[in-house]
């Protein structure tokens, strides 16, 4: 009997924990999701939500890489166990219209099988000069994988120096699976180096850095206020 009661108590506690997670801990991501939908449908009604490509917020190290609404933040969680490794910036336009630019000087690589992605190596992190970091830009293709990346950076490009503000391509909606599009946006992340001159796996949040101090905007989902993320 005691074992049955203990088991029942455990189930009740577990259910309460799960309910808290889904009903309360996820309120921020739910709110952001609804705003993303609103932005995609009616961007023209919310000009005050947008950041602008090329802006530098109060002398931040990085300039804003594209225009639009920062819909999802670093460490957002879309499902249990998932941690978003970067920023999703939605242009509020159709495919291939909203341009994307380098946020900081560095050396650009586009691997031969990358349809929608480039990565830029920054030898000296502006916030910690003794380490190397990488900036990662993706979704620059349509839903079938036809790329919108600048012709200056064809597949197989390696270590081409680019200045901050260099045109990289346009926002697209390629998800990695043809015919299964995302919303039109740029996914941007700051990736750590493996210590041997190569970038780590960008999909794992522990291999990425909180972009907040690089843009001087609070972009950590765990600390971000409910306000729209724009330059202070």
Q: Is residue 48 part of a domain?
A: yes
β strands within the chain, DSSP E: 69-72, 87-90, 99-101, 106-109, 118-122, 133-138, 160-162, 167-170, 185-192
Question: Is 122 domain-assigned?
Answer: yes
Does residue 150 lie within any of the structural domains?
Answer: yes
Model confidence at 20, pLDDT cuts 50, 70, 90, reads very low
Average pLDDT score over residue span 180-203 = 96
Domains held by the chain: number: 1
| Structure confidence at residue 33 (pLDDT) | 85
Q: What percent of the chain has pLDDT over 70?
A: 85
Q: What whole-number distance in Å separates Cα of residue 191 and Cα of residue 158?
A: 17
Structural domain range at position 28: 2-215
Give a yes or no: residue 142 inside a domain: yes
* pLDDT tens per residue across span 67-91: 999 999 999 977 677 789 999 999 9
77 found inside a domain: yes
Mean pLDDT of all residues in 182-203: 97
**Whether residue 9 has pLDDT greater than 70:** no
Cα–Cα dist 99/86, whole Å = 18
The whole-number average pLDDT for the span 114-143 is: 97
Residue 5 pLDDT level (bands cut at 50, 70, 90): low
Q: What angle do CA 144, 160, 204 make, to 5 degrees?
A: 55
Query: Which whole number is the average pLDDT over 188-196?
Result: 97
Cα–chain-centroid distance for residue 57? 18
Mean pLDDT of 106-131: 97
What is the predicted pLDDT for the residue at 7?
45
Q: Is residue 222 part of a domain?
A: no
- Give this prediction's pTM: 0.86
**% of the chain exceeding 90 in pLDDT:** 79
Could you tell me the CATH number of the domain that includes residue 7?
2.70.70.10
Residue 23 scores a pLDDT above 50: no
For residue 28, pLDDT over 60 is answered with no
Task: Answer yes or no: is 221 within a domain.
Answer: no
Please check whether residue 187 lies inside any domain of the structure: yes
């Amino acid at each position: 009997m005691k074992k049955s009661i203990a088991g029942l108590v455990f189930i009740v506690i577990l259910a309460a924990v799960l309910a808290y997670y889904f009903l309360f801990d996820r309120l921020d991501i739910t709110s952001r999701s609804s705003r993303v939908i609103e932005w995609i449908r009616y961007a023209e009604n919310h000009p005050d939500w947008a950041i602008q490509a090329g802006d530098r917020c109060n002398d931040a190290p990085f300039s804003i890489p594209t225009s639009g609404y920062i819909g999802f933040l670093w460490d957002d969680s879309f499902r249990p166990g998932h941690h978003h490794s970067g920023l999703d910036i939605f242009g509020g336009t159709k495919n291939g219209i909203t341009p994307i630019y380098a946020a900081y000087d560095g050396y650009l690589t586009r691997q031969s099988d990358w349809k929608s992605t480039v990565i830029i190596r920054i030898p000296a992190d502006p916030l910690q000069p003794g380490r190397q970091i990488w900036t990662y830009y993706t979704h620059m293709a349509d839903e079938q994988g036809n790329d919108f990346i600048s012709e200056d950076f064809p597949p197989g490009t390696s270590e081409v120096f680019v200045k901050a503000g260099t045109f990289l391509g346009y926002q697209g909606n390629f998800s990695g699976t043809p015919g299964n599009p995302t919303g039109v946006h740029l996914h941007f992340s700051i990736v750590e180096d493996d210590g041997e001159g190569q970038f780590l796996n960008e999909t794992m949040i522990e291999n990425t850095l909180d972009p907040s101090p690089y843009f001087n905007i609070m972009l950590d989902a765990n600390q971000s206020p409910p306000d729209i993320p724009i330059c202070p």
